[in-house]
Amino acid sequence: MNADGSDRKTIVSDCNLPDGIVVDTEAGHIYWTNMGIPSLNDGSVERADIDGKNRKTIVAQGDTHTPKQIILDKKGGKLYWCDREGMRVMRCNLDGSQLETLIETGRGEADSRDPTRWCVGLTIDPKFGHIYWTQKGPDNAGLGRLFRANVEIPAGQTAATRSDIEIFFKDLPEPIDIELDHKNRVLYWTDRGDPPRGNTVNRASIDNKPVEPEIVVTHLMEGIGIALDIPNDRMFVTDFAGSIYSARLDGSGERNFLFAQGNLTGIAYAEIPKEK
């Protein structure tokens, strides 16, 4: 659809609880995660052309448990995503090959019942080779955390034992998806926890980290997805109540331009050339 909500089209249907989405405009592809049913461990990642044709599963059901936000590192030729009940941050090549686990916060059924281990949203900072991700914690518990580590696992260590993980922020209501403003070096994320700090969009500099993040958007109804359009100074946000919002990057000019759309999760912004 257009950035004002007009000209909406369904391009893919019959997905197994889709969640995260990312667009590769250069290759003409969209990638998305299917959460599946957490108890069945049947999550997957799919790819299709931007018009929905040539649909293909690139990460098979069960090779990832409950995949959530997905991002594209075009230069590196990789897809990255968080696996919630799988308690992992994962990546693969753009065709689904070379599947890897970069972060592992737990293993087994007992650990998977602990929401403080659940990885949900992520982004990467190619400039310094860092990865940022959220672990949301229980609903509205104030135990959410935002982490940072090197993208690559230190030599001689594993995804479960790596020693380079640092907590970037802790005691957050319930942080979900993340986006990085690469130009201004500012991290944005949604939080679906209770007000006043939850149901918000937050931001913080990653080079000059503040004591507390800045809240720029409030009064969401369980905020989930976020997409940035830096050249046009705007963001797009979804919430689980079914609304899509736009606002300037500082949160001003907020506008709810679609509502009652069902349980919305991931969102992506892309400038796609019009067919001639």
Residue 156: CB atoms within 10 Å: 7
* Number of domains composing the chain: 1
Residue 268 is assigned to a structural domain of this protein: no
The continuous run of DSSP H or E covering 112 comes out as helix 109-112
- CA pair distance 27, 68, nearest whole angstrom: 22
pLDDT above 90 coverage of the chain, percent: 97
Calculate Rg over the CA atoms of the chain: 17
Residue 107 is assigned to a structural domain of this protein: yes
- Domain span including residue 175: 18-258
Residue 269 is assigned to a structural domain of this protein: no
DSSP state letter for 111:
H
Residue 189 is assigned to a structural domain of this protein: yes
Residue 228 is assigned to a structural domain of this protein: yes
Cis omega (within 30 of 0) on the bond before 196?
A: yes
- CA pair distance 15, 36, nearest whole angstrom: 9
Residue 100 is assigned to a structural domain of this protein: yes
Residue 274 is assigned to a structural domain of this protein: no
For 71-101, write each residue's pLDDT tens digit. Answer: 999 999 999 999 999 999 999 999 999 999 9
Give me the CATH number covering residue 235: 2.120.10.30
Q: What is the pLDDT of residue 274?
A: 76
Residue 205 is assigned to a structural domain of this protein: yes
Q: What is the pLDDT of residue 275?
A: 67
pTM score, two decimals? 0.96
